[in-house]
Amino acid sequence: MNSTDRTVPVDNYLTAGEPGLAGWLCTHDHKRIGILYAIGITFFFFLGGIAATLIRLNLIVPAGALMSAETYNKAFTFHGVVMVWFFLIPSIPATLGNFLLPLMIGARDVAFPRLNLFSWYLYVGGGLFTIGALLLGGVDTGWTFYTPFSTMFSNTHVVLAVIGVFVVGFSSILTGLNFIVTVHTMRTVGMHWFRLPLFVWALYATSLVMVLATPVLAMTLSLIALERLFGVGIFDPALGGDPLLFQHFFWFYSHPAVYIMILPAMGVASELITCGVRRRIFGYRFMAWSMMAIAVIGFMVWGHHMFVAGQSMYAGIVFSILSFVVAVPSAIKVFNWVATLHKGTIDFHAPMLYALGFVGLFMLGGLTGLFLAATALDVNLTDTYFVVAHFHYIMVGGSVMAYLGGIHYWWPKITGRLYPEGPARFAAILMFFGFNLTFFPQYLLGYLGMPRRYHAYPEPFQWLNVLSSAGASILAASYLMPLCYLGWSLWRGAAAGPNPWRATGLEWTTTSPPPVHNFPLPPVVNEGPYQYCP
Amino acid sequence: MSEASTPLLANRAIQFDDDAQQRESSVLGMWVFIATEVLFFGVLFVGYTVARVQFPRAFADGGARTDLLLGSIETGILLISSCLAALAVRDVRFGACRMASWLLAGTALLGVTFLVLHGIEYHAEYEEALIPGMRYHPSGHPARAMMIFFCLYYVITGFHSLHVAIGVALLSRLAWKASRGAFSSDYFAPVEVTALYWHLVDIVWIFVYPLVYLVGRSA
Amino acid sequence: MMSTTLQASSIAPDIDTLFNTMLVVSSIVVAGVFGTMIVFCIRYRRGSPADRTERKSSSLGIELAWTLVPLVLFIGLFGWSIGLWQRLQTPPADSAVIYIVAKQWMWKAQHPNGQREINALHVPIGQPIQLVMTSEDVIHSFYVPAFRVKQDVLPGRYTQLWFTATRLGSFPLFCAEFCGTDHAVMRGDIDVMQPAAYAQWLRQHASETLATRGATLFRQLGCSGCHGSQSTVHAPDLAGLYGNTVALSDGSRVVADDRYLHDSIMLPALQVVAGYAPIMPSYQGRIGEEDVLALIAYLKSPAPEAAHEQH
């Protein structure tokens, strides 16, 4: 582990597998599939980002600066659909997860490599449908597809978009299935459950949610498509159907989906922080169990999206208390991350900065979640920019920061090259401030009562919107920077050696980039994770 | 890796250390997939329940217009087919590959019979004009509310038949492979896993049958 | 201060107290966590001479403390909020009812005395007002930030919210649930008036009352042909029906509330009264939600049949 060869080993998964484009498109290697996903995800991130840019530009002026109401509605729908299903949900699990899970448990590959490739093709196929819907004129329902607007009143390409999400849903189910089986059966000798790195625990909890929640979304969206095509009337009030039933089904998936997006980020942050601090994570077992608790309780709180939707007062009470309860494991995690810093030896390299940013932003998002869990406050705040700010703090402040932190941290392992540390630190810090400037004003907007999904708004809301748009331009710049310097490092970066961070974990015991089947010999584990000595 | 196990290497994917691990993975994978399927159909059953609570009469009337005889025969067929699938797994475990091949083919054939009978049902319903969105003019008063029953009926049985069709394809392929001696008492995971899937198809129908065919006739 | 943040209803100050309390609690937590992080980051940076001996990597006591303390705190906040939630959900008995019909993309209000308005709502100060709301098309949401109230408005059912305005003036009304192209301009004004001025406003624009209009519709639409007292058709008698329990042909019993009457007009096949043939035609697509509200108001009036006889 301590012999640092300064040249990238020739015999790695990038060079030694099947050659050429076909070698990539037909690969069964989890590492190559992870890279395929990374390419797709980056593409969709910037596609969704363009939509976000248009939205923020439009909102600089109260009357709407740029677009007609119709176009604006299509822009935020596209932004939501792409960012949720084609970026956030697959982001960490399908890229970093795919790449690292077998490495971290000492396996040669995931349990079902062909299925793994197939799920990437499903992802691409779903993406084509969604882009097709955009090219044909777009969809204007919002990413939530609420009935009866989506079934009876929208004249846009809802069916295409719904098929896109349906297909990509199966990609996420198959990824989840693959990960669950891999964690259960493919761990190497001595890798007990409580010796698993927390990132593996996070992926395992995420996979459970993917497998159990996504089918509900798939079937619900099929019902929407059938209702549009054949007049199947389950959600149609004109037939006596129940539009709220759709919301129950939708949030039964989409609330757990929030945990699909944030749990892997928690796992990444745990890895980054232990390495940055060079000591064991504080309260390993609590960290592992709290992730499982979030995954389980997360299935029981969907109704908190519907406090003012017309469900009964008593349903509101039950969902409210459960929503407070699900915040407890998240609180535990924040406290444990902070406690991990205690008596550590802290290096402020870029992954650590991202991880610290993640903890701070996740906490701000989580605390505002409590306001929304309190029914009486939710009445005023829901469907306003307060909610928009809240989930962007979790999803963008939390997940995206952790994703980028993870990309930087494992970049040497993935590519065999070191990225330039200076620009990386600068981008991380810029991102933190750009993010806050973009989304903190939105909390205030929500508090002032500005409803979400407004193409035009009353005059007094303007100055906060301008601030938010200004922040968005900084944020956009900070997202473009990694693209540049990471791309540069692919050709010009110094060779990384197997373990540039002197980190623990099986993935660092093999060469960078790893060979085709990961380890020359199956590794043997005889101690818990994170045995750092500073 | 012992000498004795090398001939079987052809059946073992590179990522697995031994046959036991491969078999365990396949079976667990299928169980996870079944959990997914249960939630997939669960949505439809919840939708059915909610709508039935709201329109008890229309559901009773709609249920009464389904074909009880064909429905019951289909139920019997699926139960027998599941039994054959289970026997096939047993036989292939004991190395009786040829017998297993016949049993698998029988299972697939029963699946086809199920699909044909259901097709006959659909055809009869088309003749009676009971297909909302396509051809729907039932006479009588509750026709409008009965639409929701029939919508759910087609969605549930349609998705179920899709699963049957996929099952038939898988079983036929296995029967062919088994007839060529592809499986042995050391390597039978594909048969076991496909049989698990076929039991899921069967169990879903066990829920569909009373909900669609029997409930309306209870009063 | 913006008109949206003014405390203009009786419940607004209590909601703001809870909000501000949570804000203070959250700020303390944020300050504590960020402060600790910063202190640790400085003290334990690489190269600092800080003492790093005797570090622990878990402690059951500490873990339990920061599991249970937040839990207790959260349950306290939950208890506080739930009291307010019940208040928000339960209109006082002496509330005046105003009907709201939402459609793409406007708010229509009907006062019981027949007054109608669009994208505006006049209410008296100090009087509890209960809004009974429905939608003609998609889901909308009635949101008055200054009152701290919001309620989704659904097609095919009635939802309600209530408030007591405590401040004179005009307050913005927003649609908060995305409802299509012009969602952003589906706005209005709530005008809070002195009771005397409100009474005068009602008189100025007075036309026939809602119940009277319902009575006219009852005749025009042919309802009276079957449900009238001289009718030869075997149809349920509607006099004094509202609020009573009705036995249905499937053996169940329901209370004849707004939703029941609405469904009986729009989806009559759903709930057929015991002892009657299901012969009532559906009025879906033939009349709008406003007319249904007028019919319901008529059926709710003390003696609908008697009122009908006078015409």
Please list the alpha-helical segments (H only) found in A237-349: 243-277, 284-297, 313-341
Taking CA atoms, A140 is separated from A71, A133, A143, A151, A288, in Å, by 8, 11, 9, 12, 40
CB contact under 8 A, B145 and C269: yes
Domain ranges, ordered by start, for chain B: 95-218
Q: Tell me the pTM.
A: 0.93
Tokens of A91: 């982001």
Element (H, E) at C195: helix C195-204
Closest residue of chain C to B57, computed from CA coordinates: C250
Element (H, E) at C107: strand C106-110
What's phi and psi for C55, nearest 5 deg? -90, 145
Element (H, E) at B198: helix B189-209
pLDDT at C104 over 80: yes
Residues of chain C positioned with their CB less than 8 A from the CB of B58? 269-270
DSSP code for C6: S
pLDDT at C271 over 70: yes
Q: Read off the pLDDT of residues C46-66 as tens digits, 9 standing for 90 and up.
A: 999 988 887 888 889 999 999
Q: Which of A238, A309, A456 sits opposite C152 (nearest CB)?
A: A309
Residues of chain A positioned with their CB less than 8 A from the CB of C33? 334-335, 338, 360, 363
Tokens of C237: 């008698």
- Give the whole-angstrom CA distance, residue C277 versus residue C239: 19
- Give the whole-angstrom CA distance, residue C298 versus residue C242: 10
CB contact under 8 A, B144 and C252: no
Which residue do the tokens 């669960």 mark? B42
- Give the whole-angstrom CA distance, residue B127 versus residue B137: 10
Q: What is the dihedral sign for C-alpha A485, A491, A492, A494?
A: positive
Preferred mutation among B54, B59, B141 to probe C, highest tally of C CBs within 10 A: B141
Shortest Cα–Cα distance, C221 to chain B (Å): 21
User: Any bridge partners for residue C162, and if so which?
Assistant: C130
What's phi and psi for A398, nearest 5 deg? -80, -75
In terms of DSSP bridges, do strands B135-136 and C120-124 run parallel, antiparallel, or are they unpaired?
Answer: unpaired
Q: How many CA atoms lie within 13 A of C14 on its CB side?
A: 15
Which residue do the tokens 């949401």 mark? C141
- Give the whole-angstrom CA distance, residue A233 versus residue B122: 19
Q: Which of residues 117-146 of B touch C (CB under 8 A)?
A: 141-145
CB contact under 8 A, C267 and B58: no
Q: Which of C2, C58, C86 sits opposite A313 (nearest CB)?
A: C86
Closest residue of chain C to A71, computed from CA coordinates: C181
pLDDT score recorded for residue A4: 43
Q: Is the distance from CB of A82 to CB of A48 less than 8 angstroms?
A: yes
Q: Which of C58, C70, C78 sits opposite A374 (nearest CB)?
A: C78
Contact C269/B at CB under 8 A: yes
Measured torsion, CA atoms of residues A110, A115, A121, A125, in degrees rounded to the nearest 10: -130
pLDDT at C310 over 50: no
The pLDDT confidence band at residue C307, using thresholds 50, 70 and 90, is very low
* Amino acid at the residue C124: P
pLDDT score recorded for residue C279: 78
Please state the length of chain A. Answer: 534
User: Any bridge partners for residue C273, and if so which?
Assistant: C248
CB A62: neighbour CB atoms within 10 A? 15
How many residue contacts between B and C have a Cβ separation below 8 Å? 23
Q: Which of A291, A106, A304, A299 is nearest to A191 (CA)?
A: A106
Tokens of C285: 């697509």
- Give the whole-angstrom CA distance, residue B101 versus residue B106: 9
Q: Which of B15, B132, B144 sits opposite A107 (nearest CB)?
A: B15
Residues of chain A positioned with their CB less than 8 A from the CB of C145? 380, 448-449
Contact A66/C at CB under 8 A: no
Contact B56/C at CB under 8 A: yes
CB contact under 8 A, A226 and B151: yes
Structural domains in chain A plus CATH codes: 26-508 (1.20.210.10)
Preferred mutation among C157, C248, C249, C250 to probe B, highest tally of B CBs within 10 A: C250
Element (H, E) at B21: helix B19-54
- Give the whole-angstrom CA distance, residue A355 versus residue A398: 9
Tokens of A294: 């979030």
CB B34: neighbour CB atoms within 10 A? 14
CB contact under 8 A, A367 and C26: yes
Q: Which of residues 28-47 of B touch A (CB under 8 A)?
A: 28-29, 32-33, 35-37, 39-44, 46-47
- Give the whole-angstrom CA distance, residue A301 versus residue A326: 8
Q: Which residues of C152-165 are buried (b: 16+ CB within 10 A; e: fewer)?
A: bbbbbbbbbbbbbb
DSSP code for C222: T
Shortest Cα–Cα distance, C133 to chain A (Å): 11
pLDDT at C100 over 70: yes
Contact C247/B at CB under 8 A: no
CB contact under 8 A, C279 and B54: no
Contact A310/C at CB under 8 A: yes
For chain B, residues with pLDDT lower than 50 are: 1-8
Tokens of C138: 């998609």
CB contact under 8 A, A185 and B40: no
Q: Which of C152, C149, C151, C150 is nearest to C138 (CA)?
A: C152
Q: How many CA atoms lie within 13 A of C193 on its CB side?
A: 14
- Give the whole-angstrom CA distance, residue A415 versus residue A429: 24
Please state the length of chain C. Answer: 311
- Give the whole-angstrom CA distance, residue B101 versus residue B91: 9
Q: Which of A371, B81, A121, A313 is nearest to C87 (CA)?
A: A313
Taking CA atoms, A484 is separated from A46, A296, A490, C100, in Å, by 14, 40, 10, 55
CB contact under 8 A, B142 and C282: no
Contacting chains of B (3 CB pairs or more, <8 Å) are A, C
- Give the whole-angstrom CA distance, residue A76 versus residue A70: 10
CB contact under 8 A, B56 and C249: no
Q: Is the distance from CB of C100 to CB of C109 less than 8 angstroms?
A: yes
Q: Can you tell me whether residue C194 is helix, strand or coil? A: coil
* Amino acid at the residue C86: Q
CB contact under 8 A, A245 and B47: yes
Please list the alpha-helical segments (H only) found in C44-129: 60-89
DSSP code for C100: E
CB contact under 8 A, B54 and C252: no
Lowest mean pLDDT among A319-323, C37-41, C44-48, C246-250: C246-250
Residues of chain C positioned with their CB less than 8 A from the CB of B60? 250
How many residue contacts between A and B have a Cβ separation below 8 Å? 114
Q: Which of residues 325-354 of A touch C (CB under 8 A)?
A: 325, 327-328, 331-332, 334-336, 338-339, 341-348
pLDDT score recorded for residue C2: 62
- Give the whole-angstrom CA distance, residue B163 versus residue B198: 9
Q: Return the CATH number of B95-218, one of 1.10.10.10, 1.10.3720.10, 1.20.120.80, 1.20.200.10.
A: 1.20.120.80
Residues of chain A positioned with their CB less than 8 A from the CB of B55? 240
Q: Can you tell me whether residue C275 is helix, strand or coil? A: coil
pLDDT score recorded for residue A506: 94
Preferred mutation among A141, A304, A320, A341 to probe C, highest tally of C CBs within 10 A: A341
Residues of chain A positioned with their CB less than 8 A from the CB of B51? 234, 241-242
Contact C267/B at CB under 8 A: yes
Please list the alpha-helical segments (H only) found in C57-194: 60-89
* Amino acid at the residue A173: I
CB contact under 8 A, B36 and A214: yes
CB contact under 8 A, C279 and B141: yes
User: Any bridge partners for residue C67, and if so which?
Assistant: none
Please list the alpha-helical segments (H only) found in B55-142: 56-64, 68-93, 97-127
Q: Which residues of B99-136 are buried (b: 16+ CB within 10 A; e: fewer)?
A: bbbbbbbbbbbbbbbbbebbeebbeebeeeebbbbeeb
- Mark out chain A residues that contact chain B at CB-CB < 8 A: 102, 107-113, 173, 176-178, 180-181, 184-186, 211-216, 218-220, 222-223, 226, 229-234, 239-242, 245, 249, 517, 522
User: C-alpha angle A39/A116/B188, rounded to 5°?
Assistant: 170
pLDDT tens digits for chain A (534 residues)? Answer: 344 445 666 688 888 877 888 889 999 999 999 999 999 999 999 999 999 999 999 999 999 888 999 999 999 999 999 999 999 999 999 999 999 999 999 999 999 999 999 999 999 999 999 999 999 999 999 999 998 999 989 989 999 999 999 999 999 999 999 999 999 999 999 999 999 999 999 999 999 999 999 999 999 999 999 888 887 778 888 777 888 999 999 999 999 999 999 999 999 999 999 999 999 999 999 999 999 999 999 999 999 999 999 888 899 999 999 999 999 999 999 999 999 999 999 999 999 999 999 999 999 999 999 999 999 999 999 999 999 999 999 999 999 999 999 999 999 999 999 999 999 999 999 999 999 999 999 999 999 999 999 999 999 999 999 999 999 999 999 999 999 999 999 988 999 889 999 999 999 999 989 998 999 888 999 988 998 876
Q: What is the mean pLDDT of chain C?
A: 88
Lowest mean pLDDT among A19-33, C150-164, C295-309: C295-309
Element (H, E) at C245: strand C245-247
